[in-house]
Amino acid sequence: MSRIGKKPVELPSGVEASVSGQTVTVKGPKGSREFTATDDVTITIDGNVVSVEPRGKSKRARQQWGMSRTMVGNLVTGVTSGFKKELEISGVGYRAAIQGNTLKLNLGYSHDVDFEVPAGVTVTCPKQTEIVIEGTDQQLVGQVAANIREWRAPEPYKGKGIKYKDEYIFRKEGKKK
């Protein structure tokens, strides 16, 4: 039995959900999001509670049960509080700035890196060495953060590069004489 799938998703005040077929639509203060579940689960709404049940006892139905419940929970979280990833830049001369819909990164290359911010996320730079990515879609926020980090992943000797704010970089000792 899925421990996650058994828990119903509570809808906070100001959030509405509707089901049409296998598509769940959730509307809240930060916008509207939708998710289409597979035919292996049944999604029902009772008042302010959304519950997910498997259809049958197959392995795939049980897998989709927990995953579908988590996706519905992420829809609710996204339209109420949203998702946020914070990146830190460390290294001499490394910095970031926002110009319109483009994130300009100076990362020690012979050229500046221009990263086009996709629709659905907002990127801000409170400091030159900090990047904050926010949005209602958890997958998109995480993917944008990973794409930015990919330009200069942190290296293990000096720790230079772009890292997540809560990430620990395992440091290596340099050469010995």
Cα separation, 154 vs 169, in Å, equals 7
Same domain, 31 and 14: yes
Residue 9 within a domain? yes
Residue 147 within a domain? yes
Which residue, of 80, 96, 111, is where some domain finishes? 80
Query: For 142-164, what is each residue's pLDDT tens digit?
Result: 999 999 999 999 999 998 999 99
Which residue, of 51, 80, 109, is where some domain finishes? 80
Helices 138-150 and 59-80, axial angle in degrees (round to 10) = 80
Same domain, 76 and 87: no
Torsion angle of the four alpha carbons 42, 46, 49, 50, in this order, in degrees rounded to the nearest 10: 20
Cα separation, 105 vs 129, in Å, equals 10
Same domain, 87 and 64: no
Cα separation, 127 vs 130, in Å, equals 5
Torsion angle of the four alpha carbons 63, 27, 124, 121, in this order, in degrees rounded to the nearest 10: 50
What is the number of H-type helices and E-type strands within the chain?
3, 13
Query: For 81-133, what is each residue's pLDDT tens digit?
Result: 999 999 999 999 999 999 999 999 999 999 999 999 999 999 999 999 999 99
Same domain, 75 and 117: no
Domain that holds residue 118: 83-164
Same domain, 11 and 35: yes
